[in-house]
Each structure stands twice: as C-alpha cells, then as structure tokens.
Amino acid sequence: MIAEEFIQGRPLAVEVFMRDGRALMTCIKDKDFVGQTFVVRRLRTAQLAPAAHHQLEATVERLCRALGIANGPANFDVVLGADGQPQVIEANARLGGDGVPRLLAAAYGVDVVRALIALALGEPFGDHLTPTRAAHAALELIGSPHATEGELITWEGVADARSIPGITDIELYAKPGDLVRPHDQSGHKIGLLVAAGPSGADALTALDTASALLRPVIRPKGES
C-alpha cells in the first residue's frame, strides 16, 4: 500500500555539496512544470529571504548527515508551505539532473562534475566549488509541443538563440530523423537552454527570448 499526501506550497529544488559534514555549496531553485503535470519545464535560482535560505540549508545539512553523506553531492525536492516551513518530499544522493550542473556553472562559476570526479579520485575538490561570480540563472528543458509521437524534421532558430545576450548553453539531444515523444516525462526532453544575468528577471528575459526563437519542427506520426 502506498499512502500519499498532497503538500500545498512553493515547489523548490535544493542542491548541496557536502564537505566534512557541512554544506560547502548550496543552491535553491524554483521549479515550473509542463502544464498540469509534475514534469519539470524550468528551473531558476530562487530569491529567498536570508532566514528562509539558512533554514533550508540547515535542513538539508541535517538530512545529509543522517543519511551518512559527509562528503559529496545531494539534491532534495522541497515544498515551502505558506507558514514558511519546508517539507522535504524527495532526497537523492547524487548530482542534480536535467542540466543542473550547467545552471550552477552559469550562476556561480562552479563545476560540480569536476568536484565529484576529484572526490572519487581522492583528490581535493573544494576549489571546484569556490564561486567565481554571483549571478542568477535559469534553465529551460525543451520538449515536443505535440501530444503525439512524431519525427524531428529540423531545428529552427538555433544560431539566433545562441546570439541572445545572457545565453550560456544550448544543448540539443534530438537530431533530424529521431522519434520525439510528448513531453510527459523527464526522459522525453529533447534539449535545454541556460541563461544567466545580474538579476533573476534578466536571466528569465534572455531565456524567454531565446526560447521563442528556438523551435523544433516535428512531423506528427502518421502524417506524410
């Protein structure tokens, strides 16, 4: 039997990289979803009051220690209630997926992948997590706009999207001829965009502009 409870509030994702039982790097992100699903469409660095940020960081630190994660990455899905109390609904002892390392690099100049490799090799890893900038970043996961399967014909607007100031990464997973499925689960994404800026609004403006230019042309299955 599975018992579930719907938690109402602000959905957040928290990335942390631990060293000696303390959070060496923490990033809290807002999440937007595809339609009425719980498939993530966008992630962006969250703007929280210092007290709320500290409370979330302290919570995930305690969870990591309880799980035996003294060194290394973890990520958590959290719902921040109207009362300001965080409810942790998922925990993973790994780096964040969905292009999160690229978002962290765009926002802070850190390299969590290199840090994890250094940790696995028994080498010092803290230098890879030292921020070299303090920007805001946003990431969009690109999926098919169709409700049925189809064939990717081409990508339009790639060069124009790359030229938008603030865009740091564009990665396209699908190529012409590939089968593209509806974006109803995370594994069906076909690309991503990352933008950074001095404010959250700047990062989102760059992301919106590039997203409007970058378009997958898909022929729905059964159409000639």
Phi/psi zone of residue 61: left (φ > 0), alpha (ψ -120 to 50 degrees), beta? alpha
Task: Report the SS3 class of residue 21.
Answer: coil
Instruction: Supply the pLDDT for residue 7.
Output: 86
Higher pLDDT, 153 or 36: 153
pLDDT tens digits, one per residue of 82-127:
888 899 999 999 999 989 999 999 999 999 999 999 999 999 999 9
| Mean confidence (pLDDT) of the chain | 95
pLDDT for residue 144? 95
Q: Residue 223: pLDDT above 90? A: no
Res 171 pLDDT > 70: yes
Per-residue pLDDT reduced to its tens digit, 172-210 = 999 999 999 999 999 999 999 999 999 999 999 999 999
Confidence at residue 28, expressed as pLDDT on a 0 to 100 scale: 97
Radius of gyration of the chain (CA): 19
Asked if residue 69 has pLDDT above 80, the reply is yes
Of 91, 96, 94, nearest in space to 120 by CA: 94
- 189 to each of 7, 129, 152, 173, how far by Cα in Å? 26, 28, 13, 8
Mean pLDDT of 61-69: 96
Could you tell me which of 107, 106, 95 has the C-alpha nearest to residue 170? 106
Q: Which residues pair with 167 in a beta bridge?
A: 195
Out of 10-19, 84-93, 162-171, which region has the weakest mean confidence (pLDDT)? 84-93
Question: What angle separates helix 112-120 from helix 100-108, to the nearest 10 degrees?
Answer: 110
Average pLDDT over residues 28-45: 93
